[in-house]
Structure 1
Amino acid sequence: MKKLFILFFVFLFVTNLAACSSSQSSTEKGGTLKKVSVVLDWTPNTNHTGIYVAKEKGYFKEHGLDVNIILPGEAGADQLVASGKSEFGVSYQEGITQARIQGIPIVSLAAVIQHNTSGFASPKAKNIVSPKDFEGKTYGGWGSPIEKAVINSLMKQENADVEKVKVINMGDADFFTAVNRDIDFAWIYYGWTGVEAEIRNEPINMVYLTDYTKKLDYYTPVITTNEKMIKEDSETVKAFMAALTKGYEFAIEQPADSADILIKAVPDLDGELVKKSQEWLSPRYQNDAERWGEQKLEVWQNYSEWMFDNGLLEKELEAEKAFTNEFLPKRGK
């Protein structure tokens, strides 16, 4: 009995030694992966392709990360990132600007798209081809004061009166349902809804914000984290951004393959829409910037000044604290 007892402990010792050896080997090969999450701003679409590519192609793992992609739910992405419940997120320059004015320590790490591709869309039959044509029409939005301010900013340039625009909340209705029901125009991203209009053979007119003022050529969307993460775990931020950059660079160079990756990850998406949207959006991720994700101080200053001048901010933004290019890989690496 004693002999069996001793043999049993010898067996446990050898087993544990092997396990430790295996664990040590795993560590030598790169160690355990650090679990982090990135919360999207909305349902998955081609704004997010680089994230899904980085996960599918193993770029996050190469940089020691196990990344969980999550949806925001009732708590918005900014709140989850600011509170540390998600290490990273997807947001918009306008949201970060308002958050920082309120003392919420969220920071933009990269511009997903270099220039604002949004604008006011309407069915061609409504003949809305300029901000002047907004008069007498009904706009469908989501209830943000920014919307009326942007419409007013464009209309003033054509001596038009924003008070002649009826503004209603279109709720959860999509653009196509809403314009056939009770509105004349809405604010969309051409890279998704505009491309969908092409597929549906429903011609639309677009009034792009950037055609009327450079101050509205802001970054939307952006990748975010919080100040605490930058201060206390900058290596993880650096690793995440290195992998993510690689993901978006792949999406820039391989739009068809990256679209397939997004469709595989989110099979409920319309495959044709994803492919055509990706083809349209891929060259616009980096556009005229020296590298993907690059942000300019003047863009942050211009938009925050516009927001302040239009009564959307209580005070002026310290723009240099709202974003950083520090964690973007150096060009050519």
Structure 2
Amino acid sequence: MKKGRWVPLLLACVLLMVAAGCGTGGQNKNTGAEGEDAKSPGKLRDVQLMLDWSANTNHTGLYAAKELGYYEEEGLNVQIVQPGAGGTDTLVASGNVPFGISYQEGVTLARTQGLPLVSIAAIIQHNTSGFAAPKDKGIVKAGDFEGKSYGGWGSPVEEAVMKSIMEIDGADVSKVNMVNMGDADYFTAVKRDIDFAWIFYAWTGIEAELRNEPLDMIYVKDYSDQLDYYTPVIVTNEKLIQEDPELVRAFMRATSKGYNHAIEHPEDAAALLSKAVPDLDAELVLASQKWLSPRYQDDAPRWGEQKAEVWSGYADWMFERKLLEKELDADRAFTNDFLPEQP
């Protein structure tokens, strides 16, 4: 799985959809808001949760909550769906989908453009993404990017991150050959077109281990605390928080139970994900889950906890590098209010 797509070119569409969504008078019952059927005693309320990418172990807690009946216990029939046309952030910001999976950088960009996305949980406590290269490429630090070919997706944030960490090593980002990978597979691309790419270790890095194709991994968080941001996160929109906070609480109670199950029982959680999404490689799911489960909560007091300094630190980094038009009001970009209290 490559590092998630960035969304700057979609913002005009998002703004139009948000404006349209504001005039609908509420969400339909497929997305889990108003309607008599949703409120009838004994009836489960239909709620959609839209992923950021194809299903993987970033999402295991969601599938565990569904498969173990935690959502049903909260009166919810949660449908986990693939990203829609225009992207998950677009649909959540517009109110067409109540919950989604996003990234701190996407939420930050959206908030500074006036879009009402709010992060309600950090799925992983620390950034597990970074630049990866096969060991035979000799890329062991950011300074080694000089003279090499990087496979990316053409986002301004890629070059900005690369420039930031290369400068720490006294290197020049202009000496990197940028190649647009599109949807090419990482393992094919590094044999054919590129030397390194940006990945999440929990999936592509673990797959490399299983393939016996070892990588050198350069985690961006190791170069700067500002780059230790939350990725991915669970998002909703301000309107749902204001109009139906109990739905958000119910969803998060069940979701938290799902992720805590994955933390405590990684093998069982992997089996639940493989059962729910049988197209996934079960061996990869299990190995990835064992690596990722202790990293969901890590050093936080509870799963999902977010810190203001993480939100402001990354936003400041983005603003300083002209990736944002204005500074972020970090306190409005996220909330811990819907996380269950610590046991």
TM-score scaled by structure 1? 0.90
Q: Which residue in 2 is equivalent to 1:46?
A: 57
| Superposed CA RMSD | 1.0
Q: 1:175 corresponds to which letter in structure 2?
A: Y
Q: Which residue in 2 is equivalent to 1:74?
A: 85
* Pairing 1:132-143 to 2, within 5 Å after superposition: 132-143=143-154
Q: Which residue in 2 is equivalent to 1:9?
A: none
Segment drifting more, 71-80 vs 46-55: 71-80
Q: Which residue in 1 is equivalent to 2:185?
A: 174
State yes or no: 1:296 paired with 2:323.
no
* Pairing 1:80-95 to 2, within 5 Å after superposition: 80-95=91-106
- Please, which runs of 5 or more residues in structure 1 have no aligned partner? 1-26
Q: Distance in 2 between matches of 1:208 and 1:54?
A: 30
Q: 1:116 corresponds to which letter in structure 2?
A: N
1:322 pairs, out of 291, 311, 333, with 333
**Number of equivalenced pairs:** 305
Q: Distance in 1 between matches of 2:206 and 2:249?
A: 34
Q: Distance in 1 between matches of 2:207 and 2:152?
A: 19
Q: Distance in 2 between matches of 1:32 and 1:73?
A: 27
Q: Distance in 1 between matches of 2:233 and 2:70?
A: 20
Q: Which residue in 1 is equivalent to 2:176?
A: 165
Q: Which residue in 2 is equivalent to 1:151?
A: 162
Q: Distance in 2 between matches of 1:256 and 1:124?
A: 29
Q: 2:286 corresponds to which letter in structure 1?
A: K
1:33 pairs, out of 40, 44, 49, with 44
1:261 pairs, out of 272, 280, 285, with 272
**Any idea what SS the aligned residue of 2:115 has?**
coil
Asked which structure has the greater CA Rg, the reply is 1
CA shift for structure 1 position 34? 1.1
Q: 2:146 corresponds to which letter in structure 1?
A: E
Q: Distance in 2 between matches of 1:303 and 1:161?
A: 22
Q: Distance in 1 between matches of 2:147 and 2:283?
A: 36
Q: Distance in 1 between matches of 2:88 and 2:173?
A: 31
Q: Distance in 2 between matches of 1:121 and 1:73?
A: 29
CA shift for structure 1 position 147? 0.2
1:107 pairs, out of 118, 121, 126, with 118
Q: Which runs of 4+ in 1 moved over 2 A?
A: none
Q: Distance in 2 between matches of 1:37 and 1:131?
A: 40
Q: 2:296 corresponds to which letter in structure 1?
A: Y
CA shift for structure 1 position 193? 0.4
Q: 1:88 corresponds to which letter in structure 2?
A: F
Q: Which residue in 2 is equivalent to 1:21?
A: none
CA shift for structure 1 position 143? 1.1
Q: 1:238 corresponds to which letter in structure 2?
A: R
Q: 1:199 corresponds to which letter in structure 2?
A: L
CA shift for structure 1 position 73? 3.2
* Pairing 1:225-304 to 2, within 5 Å after superposition: 225-304=236-315
Segment drifting more, 230-239 vs 74-83: 74-83
